Amino acid sequence: MLEVKPGVWFIEGENGGRYPYAHSLYLRGAVNILIDTGAGSKLEALKEKTDKVLLTHYHRDHVTLNPIFSKPSFAIHKKDAPGVESIEGFYQLSGLDQVDIEAYWKMVRQSGFVNTKITNYLEDGDMIENGRITIKTLHLPGHTAGHCGFLIEEYELIFSADIDLTSFGPWYGNTTSDPDQFRESIRRLRSLNPKMLITGHSKPTSRKISEKLTAYESVLDQRDQKIVDELKIKPSTTAQLALRKIIYRRHNSQDALLFFEKSMIEKHIKSLINRGILEEAEGKYYVK
């Protein structure tokens, strides 16, 4: 654990926070607060020292160790709550009932789904006190419909979860994900001008945050352009485009990765059609 500000501890996830792990944040005070439970076995030491768990969203790499925290209350945005409250809700939000689910659980290194009882449902602007620090909830949809970050105004510090600044770029492969909302959430973060940004999969940064967010957002434009370039060469269906690995460099024979690829391409195409760049005819997409 690394104390990045007084009372604010960064917990690096196993394997450097790379999927299927994620970084956590721990806030010490009269009420000890843990943000996300995907950091791995080092969280075992906090299970009796945590009073409240805030979940940024329902994805498995951020909720992995929920079951070991029997004492704390749990909170998550109401739009993502079904994804942790029941397996049916998880499938509804993720779309993963459409893939080889046993292979998916192996990919995330988990044995299956365990329900989490949610005590409070978060909304944008909610203020959470721990007796030492005040945390402001930021609803930052796109990655998931209920994806949230948390702002500590006195330190100008934001935990932005899966607006994560990784070189892969934004991820929006679930049924309820939305790349246009993701873009707006990135811009909202940039407008807040934090002095420190901590994400779920990259280390804390205090340098050139605005530039890094701009570069991260630009990946959306690059993917748009790749799709347009492919369709200029040959009008195609979404299934055909997915096999060309526009989003992922490889699918590693993983049914789930191909599903996510196709889902993200479909969302780009919908946006490109709405902007008058593409059109559809007989199931194939063409550049206007």
From the number of C-beta atoms within 10 Å of its C-beta (0-12, 13-18, 19+), residue 167 rates as exposed
Per-residue confidence in pLDDT tens, the chain, 288 aa: 999 999 999 999 999 999 999 999 999 999 999 999 999 999 999 999 999 999 999 999 999 999 999 999 999 999 999 999 999 999 999 998 888 778 787 777 777 789 999 999 999 999 999 999 999 999 999 999 999 999 999 999 999 999 999 999 999 999 999 999 999 999 999 999 999 999 999 999 999 999 999 999 999 999 999 999 999 999 999 999 999 999 998 887 688 889 999 999 999 999 999 999 999 999 999 999
Q: CA 283, CA 238: separation in Å to the nearest integer?
A: 9
Question: Taking a C-beta distance cutoff of 8 angstroms, is the pair 81, 146 a contact?
Answer: yes
Question: Taking a C-beta distance cutoff of 8 angstroms, is the pair 138, 129 a contact?
Answer: no
As given in the structure block, the two tokens for residue 25 are 């944040």
- CA dihedral for 88, 94, 97, 103, sign (positive or negative): negative
User: Tell me: the pLDDT tens digits for 276-287?
Assistant: 999 999 999 999
The full set of domains in the chain, from first to last, is 2-215 (3.60.15.10), 219-279 (no CATH)
Residue 207 pLDDT = 97
Q: Who's near 275: CB < 8 A, 6+ residues apart? A: none
Residue 254 pLDDT = 80
Residue 212 pLDDT = 98
User: Tell me: the pLDDT tens digits for 74-89?
Assistant: 999 999 999 999 999 9
pTM: 0.94
- CA dihedral for 90, 117, 23, 187, sign (positive or negative): positive
Residues belonging to the chain: 288
Residue 70 pLDDT = 92
